[in-house]
Structure 1
């Protein structure tokens, strides 16, 4: 049926949850102290769990660090401008033609995320 949610490791679940609430408007549910569920409206989006290891939700391909999760937006320029003005580490927007526009950002724990905008693709939630 689909993916219910994704879990990422963080150093401080409360601090990380507040960061995602501030920058993306998520709401915190299922606060278990060291494990939080982040929702958008009634949809589960992301869970953050405290890890005592220096582990991040990233992997490498040909020596380049890659993200595990891609967010979808209908206004990539506005989101990019807001995140960069708030001091979030971002890579430049890349226009990949028929595949849409993308950019990568980093959360305070070093987890990488991709953001995608595609005017010809409709995601139904």
Structure 2
């Protein structure tokens, strides 16, 4: 069965004005971690996030990331036995970034080509949170 998303998901102008236009941007992406300080260093060194404030219980990094301490091991959301990524980021040079990470001992999966969408690979932070790195084809 094929569904025409454009015709079935049209929002009324009133809904668009009252709801959709009220969300300006993402405030934070929350990532659960077991050691906030260790994770703040990792996210800075590996992904380039800049720590603003770091406490024992949480950290604020820029742009738009919060690390929140969890008392239990991180639980992954799974689909067909595979852990889903918590978040994804774009890179303008996926091959260069992939090489950079591997030279520094960061475990990554292989780069996968996804046709018109581009290329991506996944890596894990120290707590096993999966992260996807994408490069758009165009």
Q: Above 0.5 in TM-score?
A: yes
Structure 2 unaligned regions, length at least 5: 1-23
Match of 2:37 in 1: 14
Match of 1:95 among 102, 113, 127: 113
The Cα RMSD (Å) is: 1.3
Structure 1: distance between partners of 2:81 and 2:96: 31
Over residues 69-124 of structure 1, what are the superposed CA-to-partner deviations in whole Å (9 max), with x where a residue is unaligned? 0011111011111111111111000011201100000111111001110042xxxx
TM-score, scaled relative to structure 1: 0.85
More helix by share: 2
TM-score under structure 2 length normalisation: 0.77
Q: Does 1:25 align with 2:48?
A: yes
Count of aligned pairs: 115
Moved over 2 A (4+): 30-33
Out of 48, 51, 66, the residue aligned to residue 84 of structure 2 is: 66
- Structure 1 or 2, whichever has the larger Rg, is 2
**Per residue, is there more strand in 1 or in 2?**
1
Gaps of 5+ in 1: 121-125
